């Protein structure tokens, strides 16, 4: 039987609740499948840890996480801790330290979930967004000069390397090859960013020659965002830089009817290091402890995690059960128009898994 060691970092706010719900569903599918075992190690890192210890995670945190096959993250954020502290103190060190250069964000409308777009249904919204995750606009290169004076100057520099751009685009082309519609759109802004995005375009079209089966095209990011809203059914796979991908995927999350649904993976495709999977919503401190957070994003992230580990059949069971619950519309969390608690939603999804088995 295959054994997988999972590092759980529930984080802050509702993160602890949704990760507990996700674990419940993962243990249910583990039992139903019978071919693998998940071993969870919990680490109480995040903003509350920072307030106690002055750091988001211990200095040997990366070394501790490296001993696992994957990382299951809840949510990070706290009102008294600035976002840049939490991001650069935990998330980016993990993404960069483990070379998780692909941020994988599926945008899919579940059955029974109302779409904010008129006359759009699940058959219209099924986009795989692939965001470069370790460099680009979020490389962290820059500085402040003469702070607090009239001459204060701030530089924030984007970093685009051929290796970084080529590998995330190659991953995107490979994903496009696996989709029913072999189409790939590159998000660019080369009309304004005459160095970084012109280079991005050049690498994209060089790689497109290696994948003649894929229908490749490029869109300016602002126009692409507009067409996400106007014609989401036009897109199958989208590849974007760190910043543009961040914006487009949050827009994609809105198309799914609630930010309580979208999940994401921070992927090292070669599996040289652990990859990290998370719901994309925030920590929502004002809802923490009330049992009303939607656990579906965390459950979806768990399904992505076990699929990446090689357990696709089990992952499909989780997704089928979750979509059966949304289609029935009997046990739904508050953000989807229901009244079920976080734990109750997880229980229903787990029950669907057991019933199907």
Indicate if the pLDDT at residue 293 is higher than 90: yes
The reply to whether 249 and 269 lie within a common domain is no
Mean pLDDT of all residues in 245-267 = 95
CA–centroid distance for 18 within its chain = 15
pLDDT in tens, 10-45: 999 999 999 999 999 999 999 999 999 999 999 999
Mean pLDDT of all residues in 229-247 = 97
What CATH number corresponds to the domain at position 292? 3.40.718.10
The reply to whether 335 and 350 lie within a common domain is yes
Last residue of a domain, one of 239, 255, 271: 255
11 - beta bridge partners? 75
Domain that holds residue 14: 1-106+259-357
Look at residue 161 in the predicted model and tell me its pLDDT. Answer: 98
Look at residue 224 in the predicted model and tell me its pLDDT. Answer: 97
Last residue of a domain, one of 191, 225, 255: 255
The reply to whether 248 and 299 lie within a common domain is no
Closest CA to 351 of 1, 20, 31, 4: 31
The residue whose two tokens read 């009817």 is: 257
Indicate if the pLDDT at residue 357 is higher than 90: no
pLDDT in tens, 185-237: 999 999 999 999 999 999 999 999 999 999 999 999 999 999 999 999 999 99
- Report how many domains make up the chain: 2
pTM greater than 0.85 (yes/no):
yes
Last residue of a domain, one of 215, 233, 255: 255
The reply to whether 237 and 128 lie within a common domain is yes
Contact 77, 83 (CB under 8 A): yes
């Amino acid at each position: 039987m295959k054994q997988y060691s999972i590092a759980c970092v529930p984080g802050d706010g509702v993160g602890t609740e949704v990760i507990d719900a996700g674990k419940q569903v993962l243990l249910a599918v583990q039992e139903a499948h019978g071919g693998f075992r998940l071993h969870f190690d919990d680490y109480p890192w995040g903003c509350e840890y920072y307030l106690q210890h002055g750091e988001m995670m211990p200095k040997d945190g990366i070394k501790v996480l490296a001993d696992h096959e994957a990382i299951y993250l809840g949510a990070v954020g706290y009102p008294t801790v600035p976002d840049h502290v939490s991001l650069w103190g935990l998330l980016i060190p993990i993404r960069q330290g483990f070379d998780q250069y692909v941020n994988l964000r599926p945008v899919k409308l579940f059955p029974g979930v109302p779409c904010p777009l008129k006359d759009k249904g699940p058959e219209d919204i099924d986009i795989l967004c692939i965001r470069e995750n370790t460099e680009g606009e979020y490389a962290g290169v820059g500085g402040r000069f003469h702070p607090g004076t009239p001459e204060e100057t701030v530089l924030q520099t984007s970093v685009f390397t051929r290796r970084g751009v080529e590998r995330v685009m190659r991953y995107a082309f490979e994903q496009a090859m696996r989709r029913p519609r072999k189409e790939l759109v590159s998000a660019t802004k080369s009309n304004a960013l005459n160095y970084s995005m012109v280079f991005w375009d050049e690498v994209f079209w060089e790689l497109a020659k290696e994948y003649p089966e894929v229908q490749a095209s490029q869109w300016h990011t602002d126009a692409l965002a507009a067409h996400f809203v106007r014609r989401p059914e036009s897109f199958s796979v989208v590849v974007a830089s760190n910043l543009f991908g961040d914006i487009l995927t949050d827009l994609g999350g809105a198309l799914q009817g609630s930010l309580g649904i979208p999940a994401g993976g921070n992927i090292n495709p070669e599996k040289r290091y652990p990859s990290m999977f998370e719901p994309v919503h925030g920590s929502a401190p004002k809802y923490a402890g009330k049992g009303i957070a939607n656990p579906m994003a965390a459950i979806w992230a768990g399904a992505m995690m076990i699929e990446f580990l090689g357990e696709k059949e089990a992952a499909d069971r989780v997704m089928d059960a979750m979509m059966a619950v949304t289609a029935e519309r009997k046990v739904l969390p508050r953000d989807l128009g229901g009244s079920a608690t976080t734990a109750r939603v997880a229980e229903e999804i787990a029950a669907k898994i057991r019933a199907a088995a």
